[in-house]
Amino acid sequence: MAKLLRSLQDSEIIARFQRRCGLFPAPDESPGAEKSPAADGQDSTGRAASLQVTGGPGIFHLPAWPGKLLEIPSNSLRRRDLEKSFEQKYIVKNYFFYYLFKFSAALGQEVFYITFLPFTYWNIDCYSAKRLIIIWVLVMYIGQVAKDLLKWPRPFSPPVVKLEKRVITEYGMPSTHAMAATAISFTLLISTMDRFQYPFILGLMLAVVFSTLVCLSRIYTGMHTVLDVLGGIFITTILIILTYPSWPLLDSLDSASPLFPVCVLVVPFVLCYNYPVPELYSPTRADTTTIMAAGAGATIGFWMNHFFQLSSEPASSMPMIKSLSTLTTHQMFLGLSRFTVGIVLILGVRQLMQKLSLQVLFSWFKVVTRNKEARRRLEIEVPYKFVTYTSVGLCTTTFVPMLHRFLGLL
Catalytic residues: 177, 224
Using the CB atoms, write b or e for 241-259: b if 16+ within 10 Å: eebeeebeebbeebebeee
**Cα dist. 338→115, 343, 406, 410 in Å?**
12, 8, 12, 8
- Interatomic CA distance for residues 156 and 105, integer angstroms: 19
- DSSP code of residue 382: H
- The region, left, alpha or beta by phi > 0 then psi within -120 to 50, assigned to residue 254 is alpha
| Helix, strand, coil fractions of the chain, as percent rounded to 5 | 65, 5, 30
- Interatomic CA distance for residues 342 and 355, integer angstroms: 20
Which residues lie closer than 8 Å to 130 by C-beta, 6 or more apart?
Answer: 250, 251, 253, 254, 302
Q: 399: helix, coil or strand?
A: helix
- The packing angle between helices 11-20 and 200-220, to 10°, is 110
What is the SS3 string spanning 11-34? HHHHHHHHHHCCEEECCCCCCCCC
Peptide bond just before 155 cis, omega within 30 deg: no
What is the SS3 string spanning 88-135? CCEEECCHHHHHHHHHHHHCCCHHHHHHHHHHHHHHHCHHHHHHHHHH
